[in-house]
A and B are shown apart, each in its own frame.
Chain A
Amino acid sequence: MKNELTVGFIGNPNCGKTTLFNAYTGAKLKVANWPGVTVEKKEGVFCYHQHNYKLVDLPGIYSLTSYTLEEKLSRRYILEGDVDVIINVVDASCLERNLFLTLQLIELGKPVVLALNMMDIVEERGMEIDLHRLPEMLGIPVVPVCARKKKGIDVLMHTVSHHQDKPIGALEHQHAKGDHCHDHHSEYPIVYSDKIEDLIDAVTERICAANKNIINHRWYALKVLEHDSEIMEELNIDFSDIVPHSLEKEIINQKYDFIEEIIAEVLMNKEKKQQMTDKIDLFLTHPIWGMPIFFGIMALIFFLTFSVGDLLAEWFSFLIDGVSSAISTGLDLISVAPWLKSLIVDGIIAGVGGILTFLPNIFILFLCLSFLEDSGYMSRVAYVMDSLMGRIGLSGRAFIPMLLGFGCTVPALMAARTLENKSDKLRTILVTPFMSCSARLPVYVLFSQMFFPKNAMLVAYSMYIIGPVVAIIAALIMWLFTGKEKKPALLIELPEYKTPNGRSIAIYVWEKVKDYLTKAGTTIFIASVILWFLLNFNFTGLCDMNESFAASIGKLLSPVMKPVGLSQWQIVVALISGIAAKEVVVSSCGVLFGIPNINSAAGIASFGAILTGMGFTGLNAFCLMLFCLLYSPCAAAIATLGREANSQKWAVFSVVYQTGIAWLVSFLVFQIGSLF
């Protein structure tokens, strides 16, 4: 027995692989209710009965062909990587469609254990699955589990440890159709028609003759029959006399014929109960009301973010105020050097402390987004937005990354991986940063309260409308430039609606809050310290703020920013530092203008007074918000963009063109606004 067993989790998208993976490893990977949440292979370790298991969570796939990127990656990983046992996670409530992949996995020739997930839903719906008959027909062990409630997971791992050397167990089944002369029925769960079986034999013979180092001949033979490009290339043998054309269609059909036989025998009370999902869909995917309802939901999310978030933020800022004044008094008591006190109070507390007060807003926003993602509504959004996205040559599916962009641009860019067409993917990636992410929220909250106290929410709202509008126009222009390529067809699974799961929401929101706190403790902390130095030093040493390094940089660029109403050197410096992370625009303002708790009533009043004294009006503030919304993505997003687009060229491009658009839009608004 090997010391460490590698176990791969494979299954259809959205069947609960990651939930199961989390249940074993204690990892806190994101789970939600839409297909394509996991886009990267993740590994974890699990110890059971003194044995180590390396668990690998793979992106969901519907079949083992080589049509999509995820399919290719997952397939290659199982074939080449050292996966010892495959756990095929199956959504028991959609057994029929899930079994297709199961049959393909069994044909791969590696030990497979079937994990029947979501058994609770099956029971809820009054369905029953014959757990004795199913393994007899498939020849592999079947273990019912409930990943969400961590039920059956020990049994599953126990089965894995016992099954690692036996690809196919006892089979007790005769196919209804066909009477092949070979005695395959005791060897393989699925036996094809005589014509195909004969071809498999012929191809197998030729593969064996070529003496390739291959164990699972049957799978290779089937792939040759399907004219699978990757396998044909790998084998590099001429089969054109045996299989002149692809038999993939027949093979798929026969697999489904067999699945129908299985379903007929093992599934009882199919679809007895009226399904809740259909009732909800009547409203949410309504031909006319679908889109207004979606906009309404988004408006509600941002309303809650601003109203409830601001309410909580007030309490939060009291706390921060207390802490910062305590630190300040403490520093006086132990009489530290004035420069050090300045660094701590004017640099760190002003920067980091100021940013922490926005945590409640961020918390509410992510809480709402997690409800959206976990309920099953995300896929519906792709459907609802399909016609609108069609006008700019994208499928509704491209809207999912854009919608995720309201949370954070980095995972949103990664979600674009599920788009199949390269040019659609690139266009989606290039416009996603225009969607206003949570990091830009502090800028809106602060400046809209300061300059538009009566219409603060309305002004902040406008950013969430302008962002997507600019994104859509940009995507349209790119589409026209690339010669109006054919719109990719929408094809997405719509999962059942589920009551959002407390645990997955807690994981999701906690990870985001942790990210935010980490960012405050790292990026924002460092940016504040660096800024403090740049503000208090020049070549001659400690100096007046107006002659510092920062001031020189800001003043150098200020003429460029004058036409957009942002000529103050402090604002220019804040914007530059904002490329580190968008919240830094706000934290930098705290440092630049020496305001300790910028989001408190007192902070807003004193900051507002300083800005007004500089000739900064509501129009300037609006242009600042616009500029923050549209200009260069933050450092993390730039890096991700380069990676996802497979070229740093596009990362550089996005910085330049987004900053250009930001300048242009703010310029127009400022110049036209100045006329009145």
Chain B
Amino acid sequence: MTLFEAQPGKKYLVKKLDMEEKIERRLEALGLTENSMIELLSCKRGGAMIVKIRGTRFALGKEICQAIYLWGDNNEK
């Protein structure tokens, strides 16, 4: 699944990023590395989402959310 399909209020582990290399490296530098934790705080119809990565909140556009792949639901694991 991608972040875009995730549910608000839940925490997930990142499986991989699959986007333009430039943005991918930037996100990694911000701490969104493989197997790191990402918490989806809220999302809206347009597709932008608010996530928490290593204690910091970020707003991410739809294009980015659709390219962040997650391991299934962390709460159930």
Query: What residues make up the interface of A, taking CB atoms closer than 8 Å to B?
Result: 62-63, 65, 67-68, 93-97, 100, 248-249, 252-253, 256, 270-271, 277-278, 281-282, 285-288, 290, 379-380, 382-383, 386-388, 390, 395-396, 487-495
Q: Give the shortest distance, in Å, between B15 (CB) and chain A (any CB).
A: 14
| B60→A490 contact, CB < 8 A | yes
- Whether A249 and B59, one on each chain, are in contact in the complex, defined by CB atoms closer than 8 angstroms, is no
Assess whether B48 is in contact with A494, with CB atoms less than 8 Å apart: no
Chain A interface main SS type:
helix
**Contact yes or no, B25 A396, CB < 8 A:** no
Residue count of chain B within 8 Å CB distance of chain A: 33
Bound form: Cα–Cα A97–B50 in Å? 17
Cα distance A22–B10 when bound, in Å?
41
Chain A contacts for B56, CB-based, 8 A = 94, 96-97, 493
Q: Which residues of B from 23 to 70 have beta carbons under 8 Å from A?
A: 23, 25-31, 33-34, 36, 41-48, 50, 53-64
B22 CB-CB contact with A under 8 Å = yes
Residues of A within 8 A of B28 (CB): 249, 252-253
**A386 adjacent to B58 (CB under 8 Å):** no
B46 touching A281 by the CB < 8 A rule? no
Pairs across A and B, CB under 8 Å, 20 listed: A62-B26, A96-B54, A96-B56, A100-B30, A248-B25, A252-B28, A253-B34, A271-B55, A282-B42, A287-B44, A382-B59, A383-B50, A386-B59, A487-B61, A489-B60, A490-B48, A490-B59, A490-B60, A490-B61, A490-B64
Measured in the bound complex, the distance between the Cα atoms of B32 and A249 in whole Å is 11
Complex alpha-carbon distance, A249 and B56, angstroms: 21
In the complex the two chains form, is A287's CB within 8 Å of B45's CB?
yes
* Cβ-neighbour of A493 out of B36, B45, B57, B62 (below 8 A): B57
User: By the criterion CB–CB under 8 Å, are A387 and B55 in contact?
Assistant: no
**Complex alpha-carbon distance, A67 and B57, angstroms:** 21
Taken together as a complex, chains A and B put the C-alpha atoms of A205 and B29 apart, in Å, by: 28
Q: Determine the chain B residues whose CB is within 8 A of the CB of A491 once the complex forms.
A: 23, 26-27, 58-61, 64
- CA A387 – CA B43 in complex, angstroms? 11
User: When the two chains form their complex, are residues B33 and A386 in contact, meaning their CB atoms are under 8 A apart?
Assistant: no
Interface class of chain B by DSSP: mixed
Residues in B whose Cβ lies below 8 Å from that of A382:
59
Q: In whole angstroms, what is the CA distance A394 to B6 when docked?
A: 25
Closest 10 CB pairs of A and B: A387-B46, A490-B61, A383-B59, A287-B44, A63-B29, A494-B57, A489-B61, A386-B48, A489-B63, A96-B54
Closest residue on chain B to residue A389 by CB atoms = B46
Taking a contact as CB atoms closer than 8 A, the residue among B47, B53, B60, B63 that contacts A97 in the complex is B53
Interfacial residues, chain B to chain A (CB-CB below 8 A): 22-23, 25-31, 33-34, 36, 41-48, 50, 53-64
Least CB distance from A262 to B in Å reads 12
Tell whether A67 pairs with B26 under 8 Å between CB atoms, given A256-B33, A278-B41, A287-B45: yes
Contact A97 B44 (CB under 8 A): no
- Whether A97 pairs with B46 at a CB distance below 8 angstroms is no
By a CB distance below 8 angstroms, the chain A residues around B60 are: 489-491
For B61, what are the chain A residues with a Cβ–Cβ distance below 8 Å? 386, 390, 395-396, 487-491
Besides A383-B48, A390-B46, 8 other A-B contacts (C-beta < 8 A): A62-B29, A62-B30, A248-B25, A281-B57, A288-B44, A390-B61, A490-B61, A492-B58
Tell which of A287, A386, A490, A493 touches B42, judged by Cβ atoms closer than 8 Å.
A287
Residues in B whose Cβ lies below 8 Å from that of A495: 57
Q: Choose among A100, A270, A487 the residue with the greatest number of B CB atoms under 10 Å from its CB.
A: A100
Given the interface contacts A97-B30, A252-B33, does A67 sit within 8 Å of B25 by beta carbon? yes
> Nearest chain B CB to A323's CB is how many angstroms away?
50
Question: What's the nearest-Cβ distance from chain A to residue B75, in Å?
Answer: 17
User: Is B57 in contact with A253, judged by CB distance below 8 angstroms?
Assistant: no
**Which of A287, A379, A492 is within 8 Å of B43, CB to CB?**
A287
Say whether A256 contacts B36, CB under 8 Å: yes
The answer for the CA separation of A460 and B59 in the assembled complex, in Å, is 33
What is the minimal beta-carbon distance from A408 to any residue of chain B, in angstroms? 26
Distance A95 CA – B56 CA, assembled complex (angstroms): 10
Which one, A96, A383, A487, A489, contacts B31 given CB within 8 A?
Answer: A96
- Report the bound CA distance from A494 to B57 in whole Å: 5
Chain A residues whose CB sits within 8 angstroms of the CB of B33 once the complex forms: 252-253, 256
